[in-house]
Structure 1
């Protein structure tokens, strides 16, 4: 290669790299602008407010749901908020204060506001909540929703602050382009609440419990990349039958229950990312019903 051709090749390479950098920067800028627009969009949802309850049975059921369905992981044991993700690279996410204390994000909530937020991932003003796993709570029965709200309204007042959602520019761009979706974009907002089923070790009750798994493991429980999670998070396991399903490791309910209590697989290795702070609070009936349901599933069809 002559000196002239080498220079020509180098110049073309530099120009090509500059164009790629410019295109990447343009894409990030466009994605960020789209993200800002998506965050401010209005989401209209049909709401039939579930009346407030204050009875002892509702408070006890609500306490159990708060402890075992992931609420503690984001909002803390006192409900006053918790920084639950800080990857050291610009991604910081904290749940807001949902206790009745100073700085509460729900101080003015009425029954309809609680339903919008919990079941639909939408604020009382109609904005989509960036980080709220409402796809897991969208199928709560009316009784369970009322019980959870009853417990939250009767928490001891604790001081806290608003939600923190700091996302690096590439993550915001992915959200803007729809690669990452908020819960409000994934929910069928016309779906009616689940009807109550007997609280026993049955496939029907297990199917109800499994609703809490949808946000990470997907609507068909096939696992894969956790939406919105940091790049270094491992993919969610496949729970449904098929190649790679982890349920082959859990032939019996006792082995499955030990996973929930210890966070360890049968071989002693630790499962990463799963919210075992909440999962270990699940009662035996829920865990065994969930195992029965997962074992009852038929292999899903491709696509």
Structure 2
């Protein structure tokens, strides 16, 4: 049933009621629970005094203060209801959520009881300003800058795969799924690499983080187990089908590389 729900979510089909279990799975796949914790109580995730001390927000305590509409606006804009900008949130990817999927996500968020304490705002170190001078942005500014950059649009056969790749993969692999424009060793690659995998190898990669050569695939070694393993096999197949077609699309400029 969940497979069908996510398939419909990317195609604009309206459901009559929210699916809490599906919302929980979305929170896992998109990384909400990785960053904010299973209880959504947040934690210290950046601990470099020269750059910043940054906590992921305790959503379990914050979200009860916000309406559903405010939560939606935060996820789509990268700004809190008071207008202040978020930091470190992949708003450029999350804002692509369909209305039905967003409703399911909010429905699940509403089931999480408050726990823990509120965390302090970012404590910026001297290198934070330096990073901003070199292009580091808050979530709202980043989303605005990247809004014109989207994964290649193909025909309707690949619509679900493109949608899933956007909300599940773009945070690490970039808004066009092409990796960094000036990649360094170890950076997330262009997802044209999916064309070098068999369907079984690709599913194994997304489930375990182990590449087709039997080696841990960089950050995927963690992200696959924490997040992407919650995708169904049908969803994994849809993502790969889109990525393979994208790699072969005229003018795409992507060259498959094995990872």
Tell me whether the two structures share a fold, i.e. TM-score over 0.5. yes
Rate the CA distance shift 1:293–1:91 in 2: closer, same or farther, 3 A: same
CA deviation map 1:250-295 (0-9, x unaligned): 1x22111101111111112112224221111122222111111000
- Of 281, 286, 297, the residue aligned with 2:230 is 281
Higher-Rg structure is 1
2-structure distance, mates of 1:114, 1:141: 14
1-structure distance, mates of 2:214, 2:21: 34
The question of whether the paired residues in 1 share the 8 Å contact of 2:162 and 2:239 is answered with yes
Rate the CA distance shift 1:265–1:301 in 2: closer, same or farther, 3 A: closer
2:218 equivalent in structure 1: 272
Aligned length: 224
Does 2:23 align with 1:62? yes
CA RMSD of aligned residues (A): 3.0
Rate the CA distance shift 1:164–1:121 in 2: closer, same or farther, 3 A: same
- Of 93, 101, 105, the residue aligned with 1:148 is 105
1-structure distance, mates of 2:173, 2:62: 29
- State the TM-score, normalized to the length of structure 2: 0.75
The question of whether the paired residues in 2 share the 8 Å contact of 1:226 and 1:235 is answered with no
How many Å apart are 1:225 and its aligned residue?
A: 7.0
SS in 1 for 2:201: helix
SS in 1 for 2:243: helix
The question of whether the paired residues in 1 share the 8 Å contact of 2:92 and 2:175 is answered with no
SS in 1 for 2:62: coil
The question of whether the paired residues in 2 share the 8 Å contact of 1:95 and 1:163 is answered with no
Rate the CA distance shift 1:272–1:162 in 2: closer, same or farther, 3 A: same
1:78 equivalent in structure 2: 39
Q: Which has the higher helix share?
A: 2
The question of whether the paired residues in 2 share the 8 Å contact of 1:225 and 1:236 is answered with no
SS in 1 for 2:160: helix
CA deviation map 1:82-135 (0-9, x unaligned): 333446865443311112xxxx12231012310121122111011110121111
CA deviation map 1:154-192 (0-9, x unaligned): 1133223236534542233221x2511222113259x8x
Rate the CA distance shift 1:202–1:283 in 2: closer, same or farther, 3 A: farther
Rate the CA distance shift 1:260–1:93 in 2: closer, same or farther, 3 A: farther
